[in-house]
Amino acid sequence: MIKRLIILVIVVLLLCLMYGCDQSMTKSAAPSSGKYWATYSNIPGPPESLSVTGSFYVNRVGIYEESIGEELAMVHFTKDSTFATGANPNDTSKYWVEIIMNEEGKPVRIKLSSNAANNFVINVHLNQTENDIPGYSSYIKSDDGVHSLDGSVIPDPYEDPELPIAGAKELNFKGSYEDGNKFKNTLEEAGYDTFSMRYINQTYTVSIRKELDGRAKVEKNVLKPKDYNIDKAKTKGNVGYYNKADDFTGKIIIDWTFNNIPFTIEINDAKLKKLEDGEDETNYTMSGTAEIKQKSFNMGDLVFRLNDKQSKPFSDEYGFKVVKDPSPGVTWSYVETWEYIDENYGTPFLLTVSYSTGNSPTDLSSVPVKELDEIDGTDTMSFMMPAYGGTATWTFKKEK
């Protein structure tokens, strides 16, 4: 028994002589547990202007989300350690950092693993090995982006709502201060902590945090297209830019003909409220109050008078579509019925105005418009007989 104990002590002493017996040895042997990883090979040498000379070792590594310049963690090393861990209590993100050395003991590559899929930037601080005094530091971007466990590169992790993303998300809303407050309240009602609010140049900025929810997840689940537009040209990383959804108000006039008898329907308070915004088309709910101008009409010797409300409110989900590709255009339809009654015999007559921009009941082609911000137009139903059908004219402006 005593011999076995002596042998065990000798083995431990040999290992200590070879690798060191402090806490750094434990760090060096620790495995990485990150689901996502990236490597950083561009570790620069000391600048020529540096007064400190000699060899250098990595003393600490700062981990940053570049889009907002936020430091998420700082991990520390000793001269003899090559592995360290860090964590951010604000969002539960964790980090495992490994230094790969060459045969001469010089750091040549750093591997960063994490439970978050950000494409991090790191700030490497190097100390002089002999006297352990600060030498120089350098910010380094990843070699080829962030990888998943199978080694494949994730093209843009920030645009995937299913991926965990560390750090605060800075969201910018273009609009009035009151609408900016509504924007913030929407985020809070969804369970997000809000902070760092400010309103400058008609832009309301708010930062949010909720564990590892990414910006794309917030856009998918909270900032619905019917309420908010994403400014894709500016939005990047953990920073998003938004404005109020492109709702329209305007006017529609339908000159309808039934059995060569003209009718006019005016919708002076027409409104388009965005429902869905896709790559090729945007769908709206079309609503308003339609007024038929003719209170009476003659059909031969008979006189029919309106026996109904002259104005009727309506709302039609997906009733108006703006087509983006291959060229700008719109499609919409409208249906309403008014009751007239023969003043002599009391015979009812139902006039149904059924207008569609299509050239046939199955035609899905759109009416061309100048551009997506100017959806004014006019169209004549061409598939009806000359005695039936009509022409519609519409004009809309974006709500401010």
* pLDDT tens by residue, 300-346: 899 999 999 999 999 999 999 998 877 889 999 999 999 999 999 99
Residues 6+ apart with CB under 8 A from 292: 263, 264, 265, 306, 310, 338, 351, 353
Per-residue confidence (pLDDT) for residue 275, from 0 to 100: 82
In 3D space, the residue among 155, 149, 166 whose CA is nearest the CA of residue 213 turns out to be 166
φ/ψ of 217, rounded to 5, equals -70, -40
pTM above 0.95? no
* Mean of all residue pLDDT scores within the chain: 87
380 pLDDT band (50/70/90 cuts)?
confident
pLDDT 10s digits, 52-74: 888 999 999 999 999 999 999 99
In 3D space, the residue among 256, 288, 261 whose CA is nearest the CA of residue 272 turns out to be 288
The tokens describing 152, both together, are 């494949």
Cα separation, 95 vs 74, whole angstroms: 9
Across 270-283, average pLDDT: 85
Per-residue confidence (pLDDT) for residue 385, from 0 to 100: 54
359 pLDDT band (50/70/90 cuts)?
low
In 3D space, the residue among 289, 322, 323 whose CA is nearest the CA of residue 398 turns out to be 322
Cβ–Cβ under 8 Å, residues 60 and 2: no
2 pLDDT band (50/70/90 cuts)?
very low
Across 352-375, average pLDDT: 78
pLDDT 10s digits, 99-152: 999 998 899 999 999 999 999 999 999 999 999 999 999 999 999 999 998 999
Per-residue confidence (pLDDT) for residue 11, from 0 to 100: 40
Per-residue confidence (pLDDT) for residue 357, from 0 to 100: 87
Residues 6+ apart with CB under 8 A from 133: 52, 127
User: Does the structure show a pLDDT above 60 at 27?
Assistant: no
